Structure 1
């Protein structure tokens, strides 16, 4: 089913904007108002895309833009069949396109498209960071890369018509906001981290010094609304309760601003958070969460994003539900747009 509110333009990270003139059989894309690529579309059980004209060299970015537009236009489209006269070397090397058995025919798979890190990912060293095993507190795990600073992820959510982004928490900038959120009765009932500004400064200072945890602020249209902790599960207290892989990531989540609650907002930020963690290191095969077992609302949100409940287990401070989302499942069912 096509998007009920199809986009007329799609903003890109970095400030540029894609525009389109689209009919049933043709698609012309413009970048910042300048012609980029013209396509003939043959619709059926599969969407066949024939290149008619291209106004950009190298061709890779133009092909990427067309794939992005068509996948955003129809979130249920699983693949595109491209017909090209010239071999798209750059697109084949990156994984944007794959060859078929027919000459001049190539495919773009949604599951592969959304695993390409750019332009969504900010600065990241994780994916190229060499593996060296170390031992911390009796746990053997890979040495972790230096934590990033600043914005790490940005994507325009066409369903919301808003930017969803993630940036690292900066204590001087975010302390009062964090303190207000943690002292909200709704948040405190689950996090149990109420306290003073100084207590929360100490809490955040400790996490900033911990190579296991990355503290993040979630934003809609650059307005902070949520706090997330992304941790390496192998070194975390969760590790004894399941077979944690070296690159599994875990998440703690809270929405602090009341106006950004609701299932449609959760679907946007939770998919963005998981997407970021899978892009940050291609060796990450699972994202896990451990909400309180009686937090039915959050568990429901996680189920809606294809997490499954592996089991319930007991931490010293709570009974938790072990929620797991595998990389393959996330990208196979990827509803990003």
Structure 2
């Protein structure tokens, strides 16, 4: 029995997979990319592309990427793909999309795939920005902040696009003011006030090189406000010994109909994913929710954040939450999830 499903990509293309009878066929916008026999192994699949002749078949980078995208997105149990009888594209090896195993095969690893910017990163990352010390010799000069859409990914588990864009004060001031004055938000953020106060607040952050203000969207509907900051220049620094490129986050969900653990898993994984993609030198993401905010702390722990300890800010008792880069990409929570597309063909490879 053959099953066909499609995964939308952020650049407007559509990745289609046909599975059945132990095989996989992939195409993008109707253009065939790959036809391969599949055999399940522990933690993944062996893929043997159809060959023409007796020599190893060249495997184009876009075909390897499409297979990894499809299989790693829809099946959280799939951690590696072993490619048999192929000649890897050198660009795939240089990028890390494919790894040579020393035995004549090539491997795609889930933890490597999700570290590639792919189409998810909508604005060029800053990994190449030089590490230049400021006059104090301790802190770094930070690159100019990006504007516009920064990240986009389709979440098959929700059937929704999750995206992040930079905050625009003129366009977003009204919703920011409304969100901050919601009793639920006010209890934790304590930033209620009028438009003048909130404009001054956002203008101050816009002028601060260590903070990026963001709006989170589901299907392009704004629902949340985030602050991503460089931890070394933040008040959290004395409590977490941050590396030069470690980052931190403040989070606020403003729209009631976008609350819930299933939504948190989607947007929190996207937010963390963007920070790790934006600068490959970022080794940790930290946060300091109020220590009594058990719900948010529980959501963070479910995605791999560790509650290291509690400490006191002047205005609150905080919990130090830490997520290590390697731990995140080893688990890929929220990125590799069961979905209808995976459930429909979970037995198609046997």
Shorter-chain TM range is: over 0.9
Match among 300, 303, 306 for residue 305 of structure 1: 303
For 2:110, the equivalent position in structure 1 comes to 110
Which runs of structure 2 are paired with 1:224-243 in the superposition (5 Å)? 224-243=222-241
For 1:3, the equivalent position in structure 2 comes to none
Cα RMSD after superposing both structures: 1.6
Asked if 1:270 is matched to 2:271, the reply is no
1:41-66 per-residue CA deviation (whole Å, 9 max, x = no partner) reads 01232410111169xx9811121011
Partners of 1:82 and 1:107 within 8 A in 2: yes
For 2:288, the equivalent position in structure 1 comes to 290
Q: How many correspondences in the alignment?
A: 327
Q: Distance in 2 between matches of 1:83 and 1:33?
A: 25
For 2:66, the equivalent position in structure 1 comes to 65
Partners of 1:38 and 1:53 within 8 A in 2: no
Q: Distance in 1 between matches of 2:264 and 2:46?
A: 34
Over 6 Å off, 4+ runs = none
Q: Distance in 2 between matches of 1:287 and 1:85?
A: 38
For 2:345, the equivalent position in structure 1 comes to none
For 2:342, the equivalent position in structure 1 comes to none
SS at match of 1:178: helix
Offset at 1:198?
1.0
Asked if 1:88 is matched to 2:89, the reply is yes
- TM normalised by structure 2 equals 0.90
Q: Distance in 2 between matches of 1:60 and 1:233?
A: 36
Which runs of structure 2 are paired with 1:130-145 in the superposition (5 Å)? 130-135=130-135, 140-145=138-143
- TM normalised by structure 1 equals 0.94
CA 1:184–1:191 in structure 2 vs 1: closer, same or farther (change >3 Å)?
A: same
CA 1:294–1:102 in structure 2 vs 1: closer, same or farther (change >3 Å)?
A: same
For 1:328, the equivalent position in structure 2 comes to 326
Q: Distance in 1 between matches of 2:150 and 2:225?
A: 14
**Structure 2: runs of 5 or more not aligned:** 53-57, 337-350
Q: Distance in 2 between matches of 1:179 and 1:231?
A: 21
Offset at 1:323?
0.3
Asked if 1:36 is matched to 2:33, the reply is yes
Q: Distance in 2 between matches of 1:319 and 1:165?
A: 31
1:289-330 per-residue CA deviation (whole Å, 9 max, x = no partner) reads 000000000000010010001110000000000000000110
Q: Distance in 2 between matches of 1:7 and 1:261?
A: 32
For 1:25, the equivalent position in structure 2 comes to 22
